[in-house]
Amino acid sequence: ELSELTVPGTDTVYFNDSRVIRSMVGLRGRVTERLVVDVSTGYGSATFEEGAAALALPELTADLQGNEKIVAKGAATYQFTPDDAVTLSVQRDFRTAYFTNYVTFNKGSISARFRPAQRIRLTAETSLTSEGYRGQQTRDDALISVRTGASYAVANWATVSLLPEWTRRRSTDPLV
């Protein structure tokens, strides 16, 4: 099938329909009093329909591809207290992308969360991601991201947060 999206004042944009199946199995448990480990692995598959898309826009489906991958994720969290922790995580997965068929990615990150006072929570995370876009467009990107956060609980039902983020992307496509 072919899905279409029409935005007022622009041309109609066509998207190939896809079927994504992902199955994972894993374990999560407390290794020591303070160390929690979460690991899972599985299989993912994405199939992109050619039929109607090829008839309507053959140039759109010239590079139509499917994807089959081993997917996995893991995390180790060291808890200083129930509110204070540091987490190291890795993930290998894929997702569909609107301008091409799919993107595979490998992501590693380290994050921390602390509660220095009853109403204040601080967070920080940095991650490095390698992305591979395949399909109509093919390119490889590397991203580094840094996120921080500060939250103040004004009341039991209201919180004010400041969550700045910085991301830098390098791509094999010079236009990105």
* Burial (CB count <10 Å: 0-12, 13-18, 19+), residue 61: buried
Residue 17's pLDDT is what? 62
pLDDT in tens, 40-79: 999 988 776 654 444 444 444 445 555 678 899 999 999 9
pLDDT at residue 53, as a whole number:
44
Which pLDDT value is given to residue 103? 85
- Residue 69, H or E segment: strand 67-81
Distance CA 67, CA 51 (A): 18
pLDDT of residue 16: 53
- What is the average per-residue pLDDT within 15-31? 83
Residue-wise pLDDT tens digits, 85-112: 999 999 999 887 777 777 889 999 999 9
**Separation between Cα atoms, residue 89 and residue 37, nearest integer Å:** 10
Tell me the pTM: 0.76
What's the pLDDT score for residue 60? Answer: 46
149-170: average pLDDT: 96
Give pLDDT, residue 51. Answer: 46
Mean pLDDT of 157-172: 96
